[in-house]
Protein backbone atom coordinates (compact mmCIF):
# COMPACT_ATOMS: atom_id res chain seq x y z
CA UNK A 1 0.00 0.00 0.00
CA UNK A 2 1.28 3.43 -0.89
CA UNK A 3 1.58 5.89 1.95
CA UNK A 4 -0.01 9.10 0.68
CA UNK A 5 0.82 11.08 3.77
CA UNK A 6 3.10 14.01 3.10
CA UNK A 7 5.61 15.26 5.64
CA UNK A 8 4.44 18.22 7.66
CA UNK A 9 6.22 21.37 6.51
CA UNK A 10 7.32 23.94 9.02
CA UNK A 11 6.50 27.33 7.48
CA UNK A 12 9.43 29.04 9.16
CA UNK A 13 11.81 26.37 7.92
CA UNK A 14 10.32 26.59 4.43
CA UNK A 15 10.90 30.34 4.44
CA UNK A 16 14.48 29.75 5.52
CA UNK A 17 15.09 27.20 2.78
CA UNK A 18 13.58 29.43 0.11
CA UNK A 19 15.81 32.29 1.18
CA UNK A 20 18.90 30.11 1.21
CA UNK A 21 18.15 28.67 -2.23
CA UNK A 22 18.06 32.09 -3.90
CA UNK A 23 21.18 33.35 -5.55
CA UNK A 24 23.11 36.15 -3.90
CA UNK A 25 21.40 38.79 -6.04
CA UNK A 26 21.57 41.44 -3.36
CA UNK A 27 24.63 41.62 -1.12
CA UNK A 28 24.94 44.10 1.74
CA UNK A 29 28.49 45.21 2.54
CA UNK A 30 28.99 46.23 6.15
CA UNK A 31 32.49 47.26 7.13
CA UNK A 32 32.78 48.70 10.61
CA UNK A 33 35.49 49.74 13.03
CA UNK A 34 33.70 47.62 15.67
CA UNK A 35 36.03 48.79 18.41
CA UNK A 36 34.18 47.10 20.07
CA UNK A 37 31.00 45.97 18.25
CA UNK A 38 27.91 47.05 20.18
CA UNK A 39 24.22 46.32 20.61
CA UNK A 40 23.70 48.91 17.87
CA UNK A 41 25.80 46.83 15.46
CA UNK A 42 23.71 43.80 16.42
CA UNK A 43 20.46 45.62 15.60
CA UNK A 44 21.85 46.76 12.24
CA UNK A 45 23.00 43.26 11.31
CA UNK A 46 19.66 41.76 12.28
CA UNK A 47 17.83 44.28 10.09
CA UNK A 48 20.18 43.68 7.16
CA UNK A 49 19.71 39.93 7.45
CA UNK A 50 16.00 40.37 6.73
CA UNK A 51 16.48 42.71 3.77
CA UNK A 52 19.39 41.23 1.76
CA UNK A 53 20.26 37.83 0.35
CA UNK A 54 23.72 37.95 1.88
CA UNK A 55 25.34 40.23 4.46
CA UNK A 56 29.12 40.49 4.18
CA UNK A 57 30.76 41.87 7.31
CA UNK A 58 34.34 42.83 8.11
CA UNK A 59 36.24 44.82 10.72
CA UNK A 60 37.95 47.81 9.20
CA UNK A 61 40.61 50.34 10.06
CA UNK A 62 39.02 53.71 9.40
CA UNK A 63 41.83 56.07 8.29
CA UNK A 64 39.97 58.89 10.05
CA UNK A 65 39.95 57.09 13.43
CA UNK A 66 42.45 55.60 15.87
CA UNK A 67 41.92 52.03 17.05
CA UNK A 68 42.71 50.30 20.34
CA UNK A 69 42.44 46.65 19.29
CA UNK A 70 43.64 44.56 16.38
CA UNK A 71 41.59 43.67 13.34
CA UNK A 72 41.74 40.02 14.40
CA UNK A 73 40.27 40.82 17.83
CA UNK A 74 37.52 42.95 16.32
CA UNK A 75 36.72 40.25 13.77
CA UNK A 76 36.33 37.70 16.55
CA UNK A 77 34.02 40.04 18.48
CA UNK A 78 31.90 40.46 15.34
CA UNK A 79 31.64 36.67 15.03
CA UNK A 80 30.44 36.47 18.63
CA UNK A 81 27.87 39.17 17.92
CA UNK A 82 26.57 37.39 14.81
CA UNK A 83 26.28 34.12 16.74
CA UNK A 84 23.75 35.88 19.00
CA UNK A 85 21.48 36.97 16.17
CA UNK A 86 18.45 34.73 15.72
CA UNK A 87 17.94 35.20 12.00
CA UNK A 88 16.14 32.42 10.11
CA UNK A 89 18.20 33.10 7.00
CA UNK A 90 21.74 32.29 8.18
CA UNK A 91 23.10 34.81 5.70
CA UNK A 92 25.49 36.76 7.93
CA UNK A 93 29.23 36.20 7.77
CA UNK A 94 32.52 37.83 8.74
CA UNK A 95 35.10 38.02 5.94
CA UNK A 96 38.39 39.39 7.35
CA UNK A 97 40.22 39.18 4.01
CA UNK A 98 37.97 41.90 2.60
CA UNK A 99 39.23 44.46 5.09
CA UNK A 100 41.00 47.48 3.66
CA UNK A 101 41.29 51.13 4.73
CA UNK A 102 39.90 51.93 1.28
CA UNK A 103 36.36 50.76 0.53
CA UNK A 104 37.13 50.90 -3.19
CA UNK A 105 39.66 48.10 -2.70
CA UNK A 106 37.21 46.06 -0.63
CA UNK A 107 34.56 46.28 -3.36
CA UNK A 108 37.14 45.03 -5.88
CA UNK A 109 37.77 42.01 -3.62
CA UNK A 110 34.03 41.39 -3.34
CA UNK A 111 33.71 41.38 -7.13
CA UNK A 112 36.58 38.90 -7.38
CA UNK A 113 34.86 36.57 -4.93
CA UNK A 114 31.19 36.86 -5.98
CA UNK A 115 31.44 38.12 -9.56
CA UNK A 116 29.88 41.04 -11.37
CA UNK A 117 26.23 39.96 -11.21
CA UNK A 118 25.19 40.67 -7.59
CA UNK A 119 23.84 44.09 -6.72
CA UNK A 120 26.14 45.49 -4.03
CA UNK A 121 24.88 47.83 -1.33
CA UNK A 122 27.31 49.57 0.99
CA UNK A 123 25.91 50.10 4.48
CA UNK A 124 27.00 53.32 6.20
CA UNK A 125 25.94 55.15 9.34
CA UNK A 126 24.57 58.66 9.06
CA UNK A 127 27.73 59.87 10.83
CA UNK A 128 29.80 58.96 7.76
CA UNK A 129 27.85 60.82 5.07
CA UNK A 130 29.88 64.03 5.20
CA UNK A 131 33.13 62.08 5.53
CA UNK A 132 32.39 60.00 2.43
CA UNK A 133 33.07 62.94 0.13
CA UNK A 134 36.76 62.56 1.06
CA UNK A 135 36.93 58.82 0.42
CA UNK A 136 39.40 57.41 -2.07
CA UNK A 137 37.92 57.09 -5.59
CA UNK A 138 34.50 58.03 -4.22
CA UNK A 139 32.95 58.83 -7.60
CA UNK A 140 34.08 55.53 -9.12
CA UNK A 141 32.97 53.70 -5.97
CA UNK A 142 29.46 55.12 -6.21
CA UNK A 143 29.16 53.73 -9.73
CA UNK A 144 29.74 50.23 -8.34
CA UNK A 145 27.41 50.21 -5.34
CA UNK A 146 24.20 51.47 -3.82
CA UNK A 147 24.16 53.19 -0.42
CA UNK A 148 22.06 52.07 2.53
CA UNK A 149 22.17 54.76 5.21
CA UNK A 150 21.53 53.71 8.81
CA UNK A 151 20.28 56.57 11.03
CA UNK A 152 22.42 57.05 14.14
CA UNK A 153 21.42 58.84 17.30
CA UNK A 154 22.98 62.30 17.41
CA UNK A 155 23.78 62.40 13.69
CA UNK A 156 21.10 64.05 11.59
CA UNK A 157 20.84 63.05 7.96
CA UNK A 158 21.39 66.33 6.15
CA UNK A 159 19.82 66.78 2.76
CA UNK A 160 22.85 68.75 1.57
CA UNK A 161 25.11 65.75 2.25
CA UNK A 162 22.75 63.44 0.38
CA UNK A 163 22.55 65.87 -2.53
CA UNK A 164 26.33 66.16 -2.81
CA UNK A 165 26.61 62.38 -2.96
CA UNK A 166 23.80 62.13 -5.50
CA UNK A 167 25.64 64.62 -7.70
CA UNK A 168 28.49 62.08 -7.76
CA UNK A 169 26.07 59.35 -8.84
CA UNK A 170 25.01 57.89 -5.49
CA UNK A 171 21.85 55.78 -5.30
CA UNK A 172 20.73 56.23 -1.70
CA UNK A 173 18.17 54.51 0.53
CA UNK A 174 17.61 55.36 4.18
CA UNK A 175 16.80 52.44 6.46
CA UNK A 176 13.58 52.54 8.46
CA UNK A 177 15.09 51.01 11.56
CA UNK A 178 15.44 51.98 15.20
CA UNK A 179 18.99 51.54 16.50
CA UNK A 180 19.92 51.60 20.21
CA UNK A 181 21.60 54.87 21.14
CA UNK A 182 24.87 53.27 22.21
CA UNK A 183 28.33 53.49 20.71
CA UNK A 184 31.79 51.95 20.80
CA UNK A 185 33.15 55.28 22.06
CA UNK A 186 30.65 55.24 24.92
CA UNK A 187 31.98 51.86 25.99
CA UNK A 188 35.66 52.77 25.66
CA UNK A 189 35.53 56.26 27.14
CA UNK A 190 32.61 56.18 29.55
CA UNK A 191 32.59 52.50 30.45
CA UNK A 192 29.00 52.02 29.28
CA UNK A 193 28.75 48.26 29.75
CA UNK A 194 25.19 48.23 28.38
CA UNK A 195 26.62 49.21 25.00
CA UNK A 196 27.96 45.70 24.39
CA UNK A 197 26.36 42.27 24.60
CA UNK A 198 27.37 39.68 27.19
CA UNK A 199 29.51 37.44 24.91
CA UNK A 200 31.43 40.46 23.62
CA UNK A 201 31.92 41.78 27.16
CA UNK A 202 33.20 38.35 28.26
CA UNK A 203 35.69 38.33 25.38
CA UNK A 204 36.88 41.83 26.27
CA UNK A 205 37.43 40.84 29.89
CA UNK A 206 39.16 37.59 28.92
CA UNK A 207 41.56 39.39 26.57
CA UNK A 208 41.95 42.38 28.93
CA UNK A 209 41.08 44.86 26.20
CA UNK A 210 40.44 48.60 26.63
CA UNK A 211 42.27 48.85 29.94
Q: What is the pLDDT of residues 83-93, one digit of tens each?
A: 999 999 999 99
Residue 8 located in a structural domain = no
Residue 119 located in a structural domain = yes
Q: In the prediction, which pLDDT does 1 show?
A: 46
Residue 43 located in a structural domain = yes
Averaged pLDDT, 113-134: 96
Q: Where are the beta strands (DSSP E) in the chain?
A: 26-32, 54-59, 92-94, 119-125, 146-150, 172-174
Q: In whole angstroms, how far apart are CA 10 and each of 7, 14, 15, 16, 17?
A: 9, 6, 9, 10, 10
Instruction: CATH number of the domain at 47, please.
Output: 3.40.50.620
pLDDT tens profile 65-74: 667 899 999 9
Residue 141 located in a structural domain = yes
Q: How far apart are CA 192 and CA 185, in angstroms?
A: 9
pLDDT tens profile 196-210: 999 999 999 999 999
Q: Closest Cα partner for 19 from 92, 120, 115? A: 92
Confidence of residue 23 (pLDDT cuts 50, 70, 90): low
**Maximum pairwise Cα distance, the chain:** 73
Confidence of residue 20 (pLDDT cuts 50, 70, 90): very low
Q: How far apart are CA 92 and CA 87, in angstroms?
A: 9
**Does residue 41 contact residue 66 with C-beta atoms inside 8 Å?**
no
Residue 77 located in a structural domain = yes
Q: How far apart are CA 181 and CA 183, in angstroms?
A: 7
Q: How many domains does the chain have?
A: 1
Whether the predicted pLDDT of 190 surpasses 90: yes
Residue 11 located in a structural domain = no
Residue 196 located in a structural domain = yes
Domain that holds residue 165: 24-207
Amino acid sequence: MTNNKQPITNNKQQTTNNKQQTTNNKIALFGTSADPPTAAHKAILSWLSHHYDKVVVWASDNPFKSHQTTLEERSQMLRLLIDEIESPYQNLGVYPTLSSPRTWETVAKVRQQWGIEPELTLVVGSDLLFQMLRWYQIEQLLQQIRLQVIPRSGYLIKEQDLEQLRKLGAKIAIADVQIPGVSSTGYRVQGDTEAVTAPVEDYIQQKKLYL
